[in-house]
Structure 1
């Protein structure tokens, strides 16, 4: 095993893993069709998590909806929105010292969500 790689692995809830992958559902959200707001929100998430932004790519669908990804040195944040339903699906996967949990309150506030559901997967266990 390459020892240089080990510094990016984390221990979360007592489990050694490659990182935490949060599956986040926004229900009753607002501003889910505003691409500039979404980009600003992703940048706020990156900063709050202490992650390193490499690139953001967002696509605005017609008539509505946004899909995109913030590529991070620590992995990624992806978003897919259905503004007409007030729903957004996000994946927040981070390794190393980045804190994916820091994104949840930012997303809740930025989209004025009525409900936020979060599931966690610990990726790379046993590697």
Structure 2
């Protein structure tokens, strides 16, 4: 079976609470995942909740990137799917974790290479200060 795409879901713990609640920073981080590609952006939607938290999605022809932050728990959930090689979801999630100062990154990758969800690769990485 041909590969249908790469899909990573990443949960970040111990993140900087202020960064998790900074709408412009979060939006910039997500848009940075496609800045050096030819990806065609279709829709950008971000919402800042009161008193805190941000949800956002960028949909483009080849993929999507979502983020949900819960600052009081130092938590962010990232979902990146790419059906081409322009975007490397693993590198993108690692970059986001670094900027948010995550202490732990838990990633699950679905490669789409072996049929319906027969293969996943889960990785939990404590991030050093």
TM-score by length of 1: 0.78
Give the Å deviation of 1:124.
Answer: 7.3
1:103 maps to 2:89: no
Give the Å deviation of 1:66.
Answer: 0.5
Give the Å deviation of 1:106.
Answer: 1.3
* Number of corresponding residues: 112
RMSD of aligned residue pairs (Cα, Å): 2.0
Runs of 4+ in 1 over 4 A off after TM superposition: 124-127
Which residue matches 2:68? 80
Conservation of the 8 A alpha-carbon contact between 2:78 and 2:93 = no
Q: 2:45 aligns with which of 40, 43, 57?
A: 57
Structure with greater helix percent: 1
1:25 maps to 2:11: yes
> What's the secondary structure of 1:22's corresponding residue?
strand
Which residue matches 1:119? 108
Change (3 A) 1:78 1:57: same
CA distance in 2, matches of 1:125, 1:69: 27
Change (3 A) 1:80 1:51: farther
Change (3 A) 1:103 1:16: same
> What's the secondary structure of 1:47's corresponding residue?
coil
TM-score by length of 2: 0.77
1:4-23 paired onto structure 2 within 5 Å: 16-23=2-9
